[in-house]
A and B are shown apart, each in its own frame.
Chain A
Amino acid sequence: MSSSLKALAIRLAPQLIALVVILSLNFIMFPQFFNIVVQNDRLYGSLIDVLNRGAPVALLAIGMTLVIATKGIDLSVGAVIAICGAVAASSIVSGNSLAYTLVVTLAVGLLCGVWNGFLVAILNIQPIIATLVLMVAGRGIAQLITEGVIMTFNDPGLIFFGSGSFAYLPMPVVIWLLVGAIVILLVRRTALGMLVEAVGINRRASTLSGVRTPVLLMAVYMLSALCAAIAGIIVAADIKGADANNAGLWLELDAILAVVVGGNSLLGGRFSILGSLIGAMIIQAVNTGILLSGFPPEFNLIIKAIIILVILIIQSPALQSAAAFFSRKPAESAGMRVEQPK
């Protein structure tokens, strides 16, 4: 157990170091950054704010990690957030109970996932294109549900998911921690995680060796959409309304970024949900830091772009093979040379 913990620490070291560096930069520019106070039975402070504001991207990153591990991508999650927010708002506005609203919203989310999964797993369409369909049409569907207006509501039960608190933590934080823990246990305490990696590394080979690839792919896209639906409820509850145009806009890109920052390869295979969650927090810490430090928010995107670029260069296969070449032990390299004249 301790050796696997050590392996985990080594695997996540770059992400943890990056997070610590960014948090300490925030601390230097804004000394009250780590202050946390308790008010009205809830923790307040910049650190809690990072956890809270990062909730939608963290939730999306959980599902996105598994999708990317199967060598796929899910561009539709932002649109699914808009659809599910619209469904939740219109259901609660038309007088349905909270439980009914939540069930319907999550069911609609799952339906979106079934659609994506059907295109990818059954029709064998490239994931980027298959999910593009829902990304383009999704916002239209969301506007259809809200009839083109920002649908506001003031049901305290639904609002609780955005601004309520549980055990001193804001509700969104509780939700993403809980969902993250459940999914991590699900994929790592069973063989599911390994099967997902197998599909990502070689779909044909895993199908031939008996993995039920279509079922697995379908499940992965359904999970991604389910996470998006939960994020949609949080986003709608946070602003007490459903904004079909702007809810979850470009969050799919942030989620993909979180997964990549978390050290997962876009080419599929090995994955770490914990890494992605740390990645989501890194992104949010950057956002919060830029806001707090009084930097013009205009620089936000440029800094993000630079971070992606740096991480890309570190992860680049070209650079890694160069690094492997230089760090190779002499004996090993001599052995290699015999096998590969190149």
Chain B
Amino acid sequence: MNSRYLPLLATIVIFILSYAACAAQYPNMLSTRVAGNLLTDNAFLGIAAVGMTFVIISGGIDLSIGSVIAFTGVFLAVILRNTAIHPLVAFAMVLVITTAFGGLMGAVIHYLKMPPFIVTLAGMFLARGMSYVLSIDSIPIEHEYYSTLTGIYYRLPGGGRLTLIGGIMLIVFAAGIFLAHRTRFGTNVYALGGGVQTAELMGVPVAKTTIQIYALSGFLAGLSGIVFSLYTSAGYSLAAVGVELDAIAAVVIGGTLLTGGAGFVAGTFIGLLIQGLIQTYITFDGTLSSWWTKILIGLLLFAFILMQKAILFLSSLNKRYA
């Protein structure tokens, strides 16, 4: 058994066990309605988490995504209110902006040799500040095309709805898995996470890959912002505070090593579902307060970090006695 797959396997086992435990208490949890809502409610977080997975596999971190999501929402709301631009054109515009923003952060990280943590922290302030400048009020989006988009859904057997934004998230995860395991870019990302110097000596274009990784994260944060604005039908500069932490938690719970170099996009999906499941369970229960979500996610994070440590320790033992 390859120890690489152990964290992923453990995540899947924990998810199945906890889903079974929830379903045993509340049989309704098994319905496709709950599953559909789980996907819809976590769509924006999932899309952003895919970008975060790539960043963390490469050994970096991106703190700016929550702010970029808020900026995207405010930008769309302002554009759609003040101009006659079609939403699809506005979507394209905002994706170009956020992708360029991410790429720029990647360039600063690489060329100025700065820690990603502090560069993306500056990016976080900048994006949040830009959305404040655009508007400090919550602006509703009342474009009829928005209601068309939010009205699209696929009826699952059992009455559940796979909404457009839930579908987008699934497509993004599928594309992310393809990108990570079947393309040269994906291989480069893993190589970079294994060690920048090693990657450079192997001929990985470090500059290009670093910029591409953060551009991808920026693009997905923008897409996540679009989904979030569809989900809330509004743009608000204080929205999506702390989403980056939820995304990091989903990635870690999904079995990606924070030291970089190892991890799976599919694991992030399970990590996301576990977080969503905790929230759904608390909603079903009704007596537990919402702050238990945070405490439980914190405990899960801790458990997974410990497990990763244990696995690394065991695999080093194996190597020694092999």
A contact residues vs B (CB 8 Å cutoff): 73, 119, 123-126, 128-130, 132-141, 143-144, 148, 244, 253, 256-257, 260, 266-267, 296-306, 308-309, 312-313, 316-319
CB-CB under 8 A from B129, the residues of chain A are 298-305
CB-CB under 8 A from A244, the residues of chain B are 291
**Are A308 and B118 in contact (CB-based, < 8 A)?**
yes
Is residue B259 within 8 Å, beta carbon to beta carbon, of the partner chain? yes
With A256-B118, A266-B117 as known contacts, state yes or no: A125 contacts B295, CB within 8 Å: no
**Are A253 and B309 in contact (CB-based, < 8 A)?**
no
**Distance between Cα atoms of A308 and B44 in the complex (Å):** 29
| Cβ 8 A contact of A137, one of B61, B111, B295 | B295
CB-CB under 8 A from B115, the residues of chain A are 266-267
Is residue B113 within 8 Å, beta carbon to beta carbon, of the partner chain? yes
**Distance between Cα atoms of A292 and B295 in the complex (Å):** 40
CB-CB under 8 A from A309, the residues of chain B are 108, 122
With A129-B305, A130-B305 as known contacts, state yes or no: A312 contacts B122, CB within 8 Å: yes
CB-CB under 8 A from A138, the residues of chain B are 298
Nearest residue (CB) in A for B246 is A136
Within the complex, the shortest CB–CB distance from B313 to chain A, in Å, comes to 10
**Distance between Cα atoms of A139 and B297 in the complex (Å):** 12
Mark contacts of B219-262 with chain A using CB atoms, 8 A cut-off: 1 yes-contact digit, 0 otherwise: 00000000000000000000000000100110010000011000
**Are B309 and A137 in contact (CB-based, < 8 A)?**
no
Of B83-91, B130-138, B146-154, the one touching chain A: B130-138
**Are B291 and A129 in contact (CB-based, < 8 A)?**
no
**Are B122 and A305 in contact (CB-based, < 8 A)?**
yes
CB-CB under 8 A from B112, the residues of chain A are 312-313, 316-319
**Distance between Cα atoms of A146 and B108 in the complex (Å):** 43
**Are A125 and B61 in contact (CB-based, < 8 A)?**
no
Is residue B293 within 8 Å, beta carbon to beta carbon, of the partner chain? yes
CB-CB under 8 A from A143, the residues of chain B are 289, 291, 294
**Are B113 and A148 in contact (CB-based, < 8 A)?**
no
Nearest residue (CB) in B for A253 is B121
**Are A141 and B295 in contact (CB-based, < 8 A)?**
yes
**Distance between Cα atoms of A128 and B305 in the complex (Å):** 12
CB-CB under 8 A from B124, the residues of chain A are 253
Is residue B125 within 8 Å, beta carbon to beta carbon, of the partner chain? yes
Is residue B17 within 8 Å, beta carbon to beta carbon, of the partner chain? no
Chain B interface main SS type: helix
A-B contacts, 6 of them at CB < 8 A, read: A134-B298, A136-B249, A137-B302, A143-B291, A305-B129, A313-B112
With A266-B115, A302-B129 as known contacts, state yes or no: A133 contacts B291, CB within 8 Å: no
With A256-B118, A318-B111 as known contacts, state yes or no: A301 contacts B128, CB within 8 Å: yes
B contact residues vs A (CB 8 Å cutoff): 61, 108, 111-115, 117-119, 121-126, 128-130, 132-133, 136, 245, 248-249, 252, 258-259, 289, 291-295, 297-299, 301-302, 305-306, 309
Nearest residue (CB) in B for A257 is B121
CB-CB under 8 A from B126, the residues of chain A are 301-302, 305-306
Chain A interface main SS type: helix
Nearest residue (CB) in B for A146 is B291
Within the complex, the shortest CB–CB distance from B304 to chain A, in Å, comes to 10
**Are B130 and A302 in contact (CB-based, < 8 A)?**
yes
**Are B298 and A137 in contact (CB-based, < 8 A)?**
yes
Central interface residue in B114, B132, B136, B298, by most chain A CB within 10 Å: B298
| Cβ 8 A contact of B298, one of A119, A126, A128, A140 | A140
**Are A148 and B302 in contact (CB-based, < 8 A)?**
no
**Are B117 and A73 in contact (CB-based, < 8 A)?**
yes
**Distance between Cα atoms of A304 and B132 in the complex (Å):** 13
Within the complex, the shortest CB–CB distance from B300 to chain A, in Å, comes to 9
**Are A312 and B298 in contact (CB-based, < 8 A)?**
no
Within the complex, the shortest CB–CB distance from B194 to chain A, in Å, comes to 16
CB-CB under 8 A from B117, the residues of chain A are 73, 128, 266
Q: Knowing that A129-B258, A140-B294 touch, tell me 8 more A-B residue pairs with CB under 8 angstroms.
A: A129-B301, A132-B245, A137-B297, A137-B301, A139-B291, A140-B298, A298-B129, A312-B112
With A126-B258, A128-B117, A302-B133 as known contacts, state yes or no: A148 contacts B291, CB within 8 Å: yes
Nearest residue (CB) in A for B114 is A312
With A124-B309, A260-B118, A266-B115 as known contacts, state yes or no: A298 contacts B245, CB within 8 Å: no
Nearest residue (CB) in B for A147 is B289
**Distance between Cα atoms of A128 and B259 in the complex (Å):** 11
Within the complex, the shortest CB–CB distance from B308 to chain A, in Å, comes to 9
**Are B132 and A136 in contact (CB-based, < 8 A)?**
no
Within the complex, the shortest CB–CB distance from B154 to chain A, in Å, comes to 34
CB-CB under 8 A from B111, the residues of chain A are 318
CB-CB under 8 A from B108, the residues of chain A are 309, 312
Nearest residue (CB) in B for A303 is B129
Within the complex, the shortest CB–CB distance from A134 to chain B, in Å, comes to 7
CB-CB under 8 A from B119, the residues of chain A are 312
**Are B132 and A301 in contact (CB-based, < 8 A)?**
yes
| Cβ 8 A contact of B125, one of A140, A298, A301, A313 | A301
| Cβ 8 A contact of A136, one of B123, B125, B292, B297 | B297
**Distance between Cα atoms of A223 and B121 in the complex (Å):** 24
Within the complex, the shortest CB–CB distance from A124 to chain B, in Å, comes to 7
CB-CB under 8 A from B130, the residues of chain A are 302
CB-CB under 8 A from B121, the residues of chain A are 253, 256-257, 308
What are the 8 A-B residue pairs with the smallest beta carbon separation, nearest first? Answer: A137-B298, A301-B129, A140-B294, A302-B129, A298-B132, A143-B291, A305-B126, A140-B295
CB-CB under 8 A from B122, the residues of chain A are 305, 308-309, 312
Within the complex, the shortest CB–CB distance from A107 to chain B, in Å, comes to 21
**Are A140 and B133 in contact (CB-based, < 8 A)?**
no
**Distance between Cα atoms of A318 and B108 in the complex (Å):** 11
